[in-house]
Amino acid sequence: MKTNDVILQTTTKLVFFIIFLFSIHIFFAGHYTPGGGFVGGLLTTGAIILLLLAFDLKTVQKALPFNFTIMTGIGLLLALGTASGSIFFNVPFFTHAFDDFTLPLFGVTSLHTAMIFDAGVFLVVVGSAITIIQSIGGDS
Amino acid sequence: MMIFIWVCLMLVFLTMLGTMYRVFRGPSVPDRLIALDGIGVMLISAIALISILFDTRFFIDVILLIAIMSFIGTVSFSKFIERGEIIERDHNR
């Protein structure tokens, strides 16, 4: 059955970027306000699921040519590497360091190593959720 | 003003009970779908009222997140009703 869903596809092309930008905002808002890597990853997963709903598996695979299983591995490596990097400085496991830096265009910004751990969590959540969705939705 | 917001919150939760009845006893599937969408809208308004009560801005992100998730859920449910499968392998087969 060939159906014509122009409205859904046109809306998705716009709304995908709104959801993705909001997920990036919620990812960077993580340390002091609600948010963080897990929720940001879930929102990115939601955006990709919206693409999968409006288009199909083949088109999304062509538009986002990532291997999501490898993405999960990279995320785990990033998170564990950040967590275990602290033991080389003679402090307990999972200790995080932060300092204030003056960046151009941002002004004085406090940079934390916990954010690299959060980026790892983000990649793990996106990779595993999209792998699950692709392998469930792909059989027919 | 505080009493007014509490009364509004009570009314929103009563309306949510009404739509919950429609979700459980809906005669057809589209009734349940529209009732679920309405529950999403009522959750958003309840969180906005709670945000006024607690005098905080931290719930604004939660409102946007619930709106996005409700939108994706409604789209996937309606695609399931119309076509029978949610994620298809090849679109123009």
What is the reported pLDDT for A107? 79
B51 within domain boundaries:
yes
What is the reported pLDDT for A70? 92
The domain in which residue B57 lies consists of 11-83
B69 within domain boundaries:
yes
- Cβ within 8 Å, pair A55-B91: yes
Q: What value does the mean pLDDT of chain A take? A: 86
Residue A123 pLDDT grade (very low, low, confident, very high; cuts 50, 70, 90): very high
B2 within domain boundaries:
no
- CA A129 from chain center: how many Å? 11
Residue B87 pLDDT grade (very low, low, confident, very high; cuts 50, 70, 90): confident
Task: Please tell me if residue B81 touches chain A, with a CB cutoff of 8 Å.
Answer: no
A1 within domain boundaries:
no
| Angle at A19 (CA atoms; ends A17, A20), nearest 5 degrees | 60
Task: Please tell me if residue B63 touches chain A, with a CB cutoff of 8 Å.
Answer: no
Q: How many domains does chain B have?
A: 1
In chain A, where do the E strands start and end? 98-103, 107-112
Q: How many domains does chain A have?
A: 1
Q: Which residue has the higher pLDDT, A87 or A124?
A: A124
The domain in which residue A97 lies consists of 6-137
Q: Is the pLDDT of residue B44 over 90?
A: yes
What is the reported pLDDT for A55? 85
Q: Which residues 50-109 of A have a C-beta within 8 angstroms of B?
A: 50, 52-53, 55-59
What is the reported pLDDT for B92? 65
Burial class (CB in 10 A: 0-12, 13-18, 19+), B7: exposed
Is the confidence metric ipTM above 0.90 for this complex?
no
**Among A32, A9, A18, CA closest to B67:** A18
Q: In whole angstroms, how far apart are CA B84 and each of A125, B48, B77, B79, B81? A: 28, 36, 10, 7, 6
A27 within domain boundaries:
yes
Percent pLDDT > 70 in chain A is 96
Task: Please tell me if residue A33 touches chain B, with a CB cutoff of 8 Å.
Answer: yes
Task: Please tell me if residue B84 touches chain A, with a CB cutoff of 8 Å.
Answer: no
